[in-house]
Amino acid sequence: MPSPPNLTSTSYVVLGLVAGCDGMTSYEMKQLVACSIGYFWPFPHSQLYAEPHRLVHAGLLTEETEPGGRRRTTYRITARGRRALADWLAVPSTEPTEIRDLGLLKLFFSAQAGPDQRAALADVQHKAHLERLREYQELREQVGPLATPEALATLEMGMRFEQLAVAFWAEQTDER
Amino acid sequence: MPSPPNLTSTSYVVLGLVAGCDGMTSYEMKQLVACSIGYFWPFPHSQLYAEPHRLVHAGLLTEETEPGGRRRTTYRITARGRRALADWLAVPSTEPTEIRDLGLLKLFFSAQAGPDQRAALADVQHKAHLERLREYQELREQVGPLATPEALATLEMGMRFEQLAVAFWAEQTDER
DNA sequence: GGGTACATGTAATCAGTTACATGATTTA
DNA sequence: TAAATCATGTAACTGATTACATGTACCC
B135 contacts chain A (CB < 8 A):
no
Q: Express each pLDDT in B21-62 by its tens digit.
A: 989 999 999 999 998 999 999 999 999 999 999 999 999 999
Q: Would you call A143 an interface residue with chain B, using a CB distance cutoff of 8 Å?
A: no
Greatest CA separation found in chain B? 65
The per-residue pLDDT for B42 is 92
Q: Which among B123, B135, B127 has a CA at the least distance from the CA of B40?
A: B135
Q: Shortest Cα distance from B112 to chain A (angstroms)?
A: 7
CA distance A32 to chain B (A): 12
- Confidence (pLDDT) at A176: 56
Find the CB nearest B128 among A96, A118, A165: A96
**Partner A contacted by B155 (CB < 8 A):** no
pLDDT per residue, tens digit, chain A (176 aa), is 545 568 999 999 999 999 999 899 999 999 999 989 999 999 999 999 999 999 999 999 999 887 666 678 999 999 999 999 999 999 998 889 999 999 999 999 998 888 889 999 999 999 999 999 999 998 888 877 667 888 899 999 999 999 999 999 999 987 65
In chain A, which residue's Cα lies nearest the Cα of B166? Answer: A157
Report which residue is nearest nucleotide C19 when distances run from CA to C1': B46
Which residue intervals of A35-148 are DSSP H helices?
Answer: 47-57, 79-90, 102-109, 115-143
Q: Order of strands, edge to edge, in the sheet holding A73-77?
A: A24-25, A73-77, A61-65
Say whether residue B99 is in contact with chain A using an 8 A CB cutoff: yes
Q: Find the radius of gyration of the CA atoms of chain B.
A: 20
Q: Reduce the DSSP state of residue B25 to 3 states and report it.
A: strand
Q: Write down the pLDDT at residue A33.
A: 93
Please report, for chain A, how many H helices and E strands are present, in that order: 7, 4
The verdict on a CB contact (< 8 Å) between B20 and A107 is no
> Which helix or strand (DSSP H or E) is residue B77 part of?
strand B73-77
Helix, strand, coil distribution of chain A in percent, nearest 5: 65, 10, 25
Chain B CA closest to residue A92: B121
> pLDDT tens digits, residue range B109-132?
998 888 889 999 999 999 999 999
C1’ D15 / CA B176, Å: 39
Round to whole Å and give the CA distance between A102 and B93. Answer: 7
For testing contact with chain B, the best of A93, A127, A173 (most B CBs within 10 A): A93
Interface of A with B in 115-134 (CB under 8 A): 117-118, 120-121, 123-125, 128-129, 132
Burial B111-126 (b: 16+ CB within 10 A, else e): bbbeeebbbbbbebbb
The pLDDT value given to residue A107: 95
Q: Which residue, counting CA atoms, is nearest to the C1' of nucleotide C16?
A: B47
> Distance (Å, rounded) from C-alpha B127 to C-alpha B109?
21
Partner residue facing A100 (CB), from B12, B98, B148: B98
- The answer to whether the beta carbon of residue B49 comes closer than 7 angstroms to any atom of strand D is yes
Q: Which of residues 31-50 of A touch strand D (CB under 7 A)?
A: 43-44, 46-47, 50
Nearest residue of chain A to residue B15 (CA atoms): A109
pLDDT tens column, B127-173: 999 999 999 998 888 877 667 888 899 999 999 999 999 999 999 98
CA of A66 to C1' of C12 (A): 27
Q: Tell me the residues of chain B between 11 and 40 that have a Cβ less than 8 Å away from chain A.
A: 12-13, 16, 19-20, 36-37, 39-40
Predicted confidence at residue B129, as pLDDT, reads: 96
Residue B74's SS3 state is strand
